Amino acid sequence: MRLVEQILDEFGGPAAVVFDPFSGTGTTALCAAYRGKTGVATDINPFLIWLANAKARIYDAAAIASAAHAAQLAVTAAQDPQGVVADCPPISNIQRWWSPPALDFLLRLKAAIDAHATGDATLLKVAFCRTVMTLSNAAFNHQSMSFRSPTTTVGIDAAGDFPAQFLRDVAHVAAGAADNPGGVAQYIQSDARGGLAQWRDRIDLLITSPPYPNRMSYIRELRPYMYWLGYLSTGRQAGELDWEAIGGTWGVATSRLAQWLPGGRSAPAGMLATLAAIRAAHWKNGPLLANYVHKYCEDMFTHLLATVPLLRVGATVHYIVGNSIFYGQLVPAQDWLAEQMAAVGLQKVQIAPIRKRNSKKGLVEFAVTGVRQM
């Protein structure tokens, strides 16, 4: 958020329209709205669009009070042994995620929220998502999510504490909802490779952090929320969504890489040599990873071709992207992106390192910037 605010201070005019084509949880457009600007953002994931719109909405005192009252009713209903129980989300190996008492409470709470949240239940559902993760065995002591040992407590000692946790989460969400932005943030479910023609020649400033070519699933850690709220019903749907996303790699998205063929886009300097080295590094996974990197580059070029027409003359673009390493081969995503930006007509393209990504030597995040001058 600090980086977005710095860019807005330097490049965002008083009436700027700010665009984020890889919205994620909605940070860029929301920052713009809090500064009185118009934020427009897209993402391919419907859950993320719902969440971002929930964060950007205007909530008055009556809506917040109604959510707090509905939360109390839901908690009371969830503790009734004879109460309604929601259908269990079809998450594979669900016992890894929640202990039996926690899962039972969440199923009863979900049914109670659906029954007692009169009108809009957005705030309760956001709070429910927080509770879902707090009560889970998920651990975040690695760059990718893992699970605690079944014998490790999650900070909630007994079933009687579960309702209190949910009410704390409701209070937290309500406090945030009371702080409404002064501008507008609009979130649209759309593919970053096209489909936003209504914003042609209207964007003053682009700020985004696209997926990195690091073979990390951008849906894996969202699955629990998406299953609980009904955005997913099968594991295959998760894989299909990852396949549709740039840089996705989960389930069917991985298996299809073996059959993927290049579309003939012009290759950045050095890319083909890097792909050849990755391909030769391992008899099985080398070709798969080479295809992954190649497809990522082609998808990013397609994205740039679709995005340039949305920019006004004089608009600046700011991509925050990280490099990667496969089998000792450096994938300089920032250099390739800069070359692609120049190829689609952006000018004054520059690369600046921002920070190290983690403790692994050589992994860095960069700001790749440019201007549409004609």
Distance of CA 106 to the CA centre of its chain: 24
Q: Tell me the C-alpha distance between 5 and 9, whole Å.
A: 6
Q: Tell me the C-alpha distance between 303 and 301, whole Å.
A: 5
Judge whether 241 lies within some domain.
Answer: no
Same domain assignment for residues 358 and 212: yes
Same domain assignment for residues 155 and 266: no
Same domain assignment for residues 277 and 325: yes
For residue 123, give the 3-state DSSP assignment: helix
Q: For position 365, what pLDDT does the model report?
A: 96
Same domain assignment for residues 298 and 209: yes
Q: Tell me the C-alpha distance between 80 and 94, whole Å.
A: 24
Q: Tell me the C-alpha distance between 289 and 84, whole Å.
A: 47
Q: For position 349, what pLDDT does the model report?
A: 98
Q: For position 142, what pLDDT does the model report?
A: 58
Weakly modelled stretches of the chain, pLDDT under 70 = 117-119, 140-145, 149-160, 359
Number of domains in the chain: 2
Terminal-residue alpha carbon distance, the chain: 30
Q: For position 118, what pLDDT does the model report?
A: 64
Residue 248, by phi and psi: left (phi above 0), alpha (psi -120 to 50) or beta? beta
Q: For position 150, what pLDDT does the model report?
A: 60
Q: For position 156, what pLDDT does the model report?
A: 54
For residue 42, give the 3-state DSSP assignment: strand
| Domain range enclosing 150 | 61-177
Same domain assignment for residues 206 and 115: no
Judge whether 15 lies within some domain.
Answer: yes
Instruction: Compute how many other C-beta atoms are within 10 angstroms of the C-beta atom of residue 301.
Output: 23
Judge whether 228 lies within some domain.
Answer: no
Last residue in a domain, options 127, 160, 177: 177
Q: What is the pTM of this model?
A: 0.93
